[in-house]
Amino acid sequence: MREVPFRELAAVHGPPVPIPDPGRLVHLQFRRFAGCPVCNLHLRSVAVRHDEIERAGIREVAVFHSPADELREHTADLPFAVVADPGRALYREFGVERGPRALLDPRVWPTIARAVAASSVRAARGRDRLPAARPSGGRLGLPGDFLVAPDGTVVAHKLGRHAGDQWPVDEILALAR
């Protein structure tokens, strides 16, 4: 597998994030845009189990192709680092793509329906903001998941085939073992 050179990424909330982290594994997850309902559905499942993930020795870091000011409005309550990459430099480096299959693959349609419903309810209750009508970077991003060891080795990765194709928490924990 490939090696990830050390760098510090600017988090939209909190201190810079070291990648790799010399003390633990990093689950570097690439998501789509600020307020993306599919991404939010997934990130809420990660947030609910964040303590369990940390006990397993994993640091969560979510990267979005939105600017930091847009992300701050949507991610303030997440218990892990969120990084803005509006120029998509990290996306290119890690080979995370975009394309129409993000939304046109029929396997994602049930997830989109659940995500839009959940996002609408949360917005109606004042817990979330809806995404911009025209999100920065567009809607066609694909997800990517990378598990990076403390020495920078990518020990596992997944490039999503559609917007909802990402590692569930149980898979992240299994891969970390």
Residues 66 and 84: their CA atoms lie apart, in Å, by: 6
User: Residue 21 to residues 40, 114, 136, 150: CA-CA distances in angstroms?
Assistant: 25, 34, 29, 5
What's the pLDDT at 131?
66
Which residue type sits at 41? L
What's the pLDDT at 137?
73
What's the pLDDT at 132?
66
Residues 88 and 131: their CA atoms lie apart, in Å, by: 19
Report the DSSP pairing between strands 7-9 and 25-30: unpaired
Backbone angles phi, psi at 134, to 5 degrees: -125, 85
Global pTM reads: 0.90
- The predicted-structure confidence for 52-87, as pLDDT tens digits, reads as follows 999 999 999 999 999 999 889 888 889 999 999 999
Which domains does the chain show, CATH number per domain?
A: 7-176 (3.40.30.10)
- The predicted-structure confidence for 162-174, as pLDDT tens digits, reads as follows 989 999 999 999 9
Cβ-based neighbour number of residue 3 at 10 Å:
12
What's the pLDDT at 85?
96
- Split the chain (177 residues) into runs of 10 and give each run's mean pLDDT: 90 95 97 87 93 96 94 89 95 92 84 81 73 73 95 96 93 94
- Map residue 61 onto helix, strand or coil: strand
What's the pLDDT at 113?
86
What's the pLDDT at 117?
82
- Residues 6+ positions from 151 with CB-CB distance below 8 Å: 3, 20
Q: Exposed/middle/buried for 130, CB within 10 Å: 0-12, 13-18, 19+?
A: middle
